[in-house]
Amino acid sequence: MAENSNHTYNDDAIQTLEWNEHIRRRAGMYIGRLGNGDRQGDGIYVLLKEIIDNSIDEFSMGFGKKIDIVIEDKTVTVRDFGRGIPLNKVVDATSKLNTGGKFDDTNFKKSVGMNGVGTKAVNAMSVDFYVASYRDGQCSYAHFTRGNLLESAIVPSNEKNGTFIRFTPDEEMFNDFSFHMEFVESMVKNYSYLKKGLTLNLNGTAYKSENGLLDLVTENMSETPLYPLIHLEGEDIEIVLTHGNSYGENIATFVNGQNTRDGGTHLAAYREAIAKTFKDFYKKDYKPEDIRQGIVGAISIQIQEPIFEGQTKTKLGSTYMWEKQVKAKDGSTSVDRGPTIRTFVNDFVTKNLNDYLHMHMDIVPVIEDKIKASQAEREEIAGVQKKSRERAKKTAVYNRKLRDCRYHFSDTKFPKGMEEQKELTSIFITEGDSASGTITKVRNANNQAVFSLRGKPINCFKESRKRVAENEELNLLIAALGVEEDLDNLRYNNIIVATDADDDGMHIRMLVLTFIMKYYPELIRRGHVYILQTPLFRVHNKKERRYCYSIEERDKAVKELKNGVEITRFKGLGEISSDEFVDFIGENMRLDTVKLSDEESIQTIMEFYMGINTYERQHFIMDNLRSEKELEDVNI
């Protein structure tokens, strides 16, 4: 092999990065994606969560009953009334990796914060970071910028014991970011439900729960339950469950106060335990999916040193309730393990739910009627779907509709060296050969798939479940997503609806979202569904070309580019050339998250958008959609 003289590998090629520079260069290792705050999983919310987690851990250990949180513009302050950081360790605890008080579980038995990492990540990624620890009449403070210490000192203080942190995320990393308060409020509410007796004040509004998960599920239910909510509590576990008439499952999950929206080992155990308990109670071989159809509930567990998949902690990966290294007198070490999470959850649910059913016999026939109804519908639909898919296979339509990618979100072992790309696995749902052809040509074939619709899908809101099951388009879409039997088999992390920005495109978008919302709402609740933003205009002169996503962006570009400006109005995805489109589905891809909070009624939403045409809907559309004349009216 010939030597490349342009790349010399010598002593100078070896670098040692400072702790803060390593965090800033490899932000994804610490907080997942960066983002600008438009998505619930964006980095600024991870930073906020890391600071609040530390205060929550103090409360969990019995110190401090109040946490004050203030967000003003781009700056956050968090004040707790716990023990405070040991005064001489404030600088180390906030700026030295692998330094913290959570390695020894005598001080923090069931914490959720990153051991020795979380606060340091916030510090490194903030243009301004200030920490003050108040203990026994003294205050130890430190002030940083981007992880670099500006000043520190220990001075007298009259403040109550606890910790105060102020930080402003760095716009060099979080481009033009802003905090969306609905995301923050949801986070704070969940903390209050999971930590009974704790008051969290967010910008002056107090959040406190007296009944834990029962309050969470009760307040968020968007339909009338078929029977009163079952609420069971034990040491290190709390569960709630009932059934409704909606499709799918809606189970919120938490570990040590952390909202694990992507589930994990505890959710798998809970789902298994529910199915097993009802099956054994009724002494009938009901299928798990029939037992769980329409279930609404929540589970929260407390474990020592939880292992999460990814730094954003949205999925629990731990197998055991605890694992400890034990050192023998002869110096040898062994691992002491507690029960598996599966066994722990199964044992608790099996005993306590079974006891509850025997003590509340009035709800027993109600639950069984629901199971039988789900079974009958599933069996009818399964036959219809099978025939539809067989027809599709005979006509080879499936291969024409899906242009798959090489790697998938549901892979248990993602290819080595590509683990970070698992979160990027995506499927673009588009309409027409032109648009799908363009995306297929420029996509990343490793992790981006394309599914092409033929015309407008059926309106699922107006049709029966059987009629929907007979629809070839939607059957093939379900197969492509991999969710026929279980949402955990989802093949793509991001489901992206990519339609034209005209009336037909908007209608197709709503039909696809109606289908997902009605039958697979958890895909939306877990943050998997997005709408692709594509540019409406190309503004360019001889020196520069800009793509604009709104009239406001267009007008700004026209003003800044000044002389010799030409404007192209894109009316369809197929009009955008392949060499241009590659930018719109790559690193600079703009996505709108499809949001569905637990408290929103799916039925009400679908009735408004897809039901009988009403004056209110017409008024809403007129207020929110740009007319074609507005889009093409250019003032240069």
Span 99-114, pLDDT tens digits = 555 444 544 445 555 4
**CB burial string 567-602: b at 16+ within 10 A, e below:** eeebebbbbbeeebbbebbeeebebebbebebebeb
pTM, rounded to two decimals: 0.74
Mean pLDDT (the chain) is 84
Instruction: Locate the domains of the chain by residue range.
Output: 19-207, 213-371, 395-534+583-595, 536-569+601-636
Least confident of 92-101, 121-130, 177-186: 92-101
Q: Which long-range contacts (CB under 8 A, 24 or more apart) does 230-235 make?
A: 230/353, 230/356, 232/348, 232/349, 232/352, 232/353, 232/356, 234/348, 234/352
Token pair in block for residue 427: 């499927």
The answer to whether 306 and 256 are in contact (CB under 8 A) is yes
How many angstroms separate the CA atoms of 38 and 174, rounded?
Answer: 11
Looking at per-residue pLDDT, the higher value among 340 and 473 belongs to 340
Q: What is the pLDDT of residue 410?
A: 82
Select, from the ranges 221-225, 341-345, 499-503, the one with the highest average predicted confidence (pLDDT): 341-345
Measured over the CA atoms of residue 520, residue 522, residue 524 and residue 526, the dihedral's sign is negative
Alpha helices for 221-340 (secondary structure H): 265-282, 288-292
How many angstroms separate the CA atoms of 277 and 357, rounded?
Answer: 10
How many angstroms separate the CA atoms of 349 and 279, rounded?
Answer: 13
Of the candidates 31, 363, 294, the residue with the CA atom closest to the CA atom of residue 170? 31
Select, from the ranges 59-68, 363-372, 424-433, 577-586, the one with the highest average predicted confidence (pLDDT): 363-372
How many angstroms separate the CA atoms of 191 and 195, rounded?
Answer: 6
How many angstroms separate the CA atoms of 292 and 513, rounded?
Answer: 23
Each residue of 572-627: pLDDT tens digit?
777 788 888 887 887 778 888 888 765 556 667 777 667 666 666 666 655 555 55
Fold of 213-371: Ribosomal Protein S5; domain 2 (3.30.230)
Token pair in block for residue 20: 């803060």
Least confident of 18-32, 68-82, 444-458: 18-32
How many angstroms separate the CA atoms of 46 and 68, rounded?
Answer: 18
The mean pLDDT of 348-361, rounded to a whole number, is 96
What would the DSSP string read from start to end of 316-372?
B---BS-EEEEE-TTS-EEEEE--BHHHHHHHHHHHHHHHHHHH-GGGHHHHHHHHH
Token pair in block for residue 344: 């722990």
pLDDT band at 388 (very low <50, low <70, confident <90, very high): low
Fold of 19-207: Heat Shock Protein 90 (3.30.565)
How many angstroms separate the CA atoms of 479 and 415, rounded?
Answer: 23
Select, from the ranges 3-12, 125-134, 317-326, the one with the highest average predicted confidence (pLDDT): 125-134
Q: What is the pLDDT of residue 131?
A: 97
Classify burial at 524, counting beta carbons within 10 Å of its beta carbon; exposed 0-12, middle 13-18, buried 19 or more: buried
The answer to whether 596 and 524 are in contact (CB under 8 A) is yes
The answer to whether 519 and 247 are in contact (CB under 8 A) is yes
The answer to whether 141 and 159 are in contact (CB under 8 A) is no
Of the candidates 530, 510, 351, the residue with the CA atom closest to the CA atom of residue 424? 530
The answer to whether 255 and 266 are in contact (CB under 8 A) is yes
Q: What is the pLDDT of residue 391?
A: 64
Q: What is the pLDDT of residue 431?
A: 84
Q: What is the pLDDT of residue 525?
A: 83
pLDDT band at 146 (very low <50, low <70, confident <90, very high): very high
Q: What is the pLDDT of residue 487?
A: 83
How many angstroms separate the CA atoms of 71 and 76, rounded?
Answer: 5
Whether the predicted pLDDT of 390 surpasses 90 = no
Each residue of 520-532: pLDDT tens digit?
888 988 889 999 9
Of the candidates 39, 21, 32, the residue with the CA atom closest to the CA atom of residue 97? 21
Q: What is the pLDDT of residue 117?
A: 65
Whether the predicted pLDDT of 628 surpasses 70 = no
Architecture of domain 395-534+583-595: 3-Layer(aba) Sandwich (3.40)
SS (H, E, C) 38-84: CCCCCHHHHHHHHHHHHHHHHHHCCCCCEEEEEEECCEEEEEECCCC
- Rounded to whole angstroms, what are the CA distances from 226 to 223, 365, 368? 9, 11, 11
Least confident of 133-142, 325-334, 439-448, 549-558: 325-334
In a 13 Å sphere around the CA of 87, the CA atoms on its Cβ side amount to 13
Whether the predicted pLDDT of 359 surpasses 90 = yes
pLDDT band at 369 (very low <50, low <70, confident <90, very high): very high
Whether the predicted pLDDT of 397 surpasses 80 = no
Q: What is the pLDDT of residue 458?
A: 84
One-letter amino acid at 148 equals N
Each residue of 52-91: pLDDT tens digit?
989 998 998 889 999 999 999 899 999 999 999 999 999 9
Whether the predicted pLDDT of 499 surpasses 50 = yes
Q: Which residue has the tokens 């910790």?
A: 163
Tell me what percent of the residues of the chain surpass a pLDDT of 70.
Answer: 84
Q: What is the pLDDT of residue 127?
A: 95
Tell me what percent of the residues of the chain surpass a pLDDT of 90.
Answer: 40
How many angstroms separate the CA atoms of 538 and 568, rounded?
Answer: 5
Q: What is the pLDDT of residue 636?
A: 45
H-helix or E-strand spanning residue 566? strand 566-569
Q: What is the pLDDT of residue 104?
A: 47
The mean pLDDT of 533-562, rounded to a whole number, is 88
Whether the predicted pLDDT of 208 surpasses 90 = yes
608: left (phi over 0), alpha (psi -120 to 50) or beta: alpha
3-state secondary structure of 280: helix
Measured over the CA atoms of residue 443, residue 447, residue 452 and residue 458, the dihedral's sign is negative
Whether the predicted pLDDT of 291 surpasses 80 = yes
Pairing assessment for the beta strands 333-337 and 448-453 based on DSSP bridges: unpaired
Please tell me the chain's helix, strand, coil percentages from 3-state DSSP, rounded to the nearest 5. 40, 20, 40
Q: What is the pLDDT of residue 40?
A: 78
Q: What is the pLDDT of residue 176?
A: 85
How many angstroms separate the CA atoms of 494 and 41, rounded?
Answer: 13
- No. of helices (H) and no. of strands (E), the chain: 22, 24
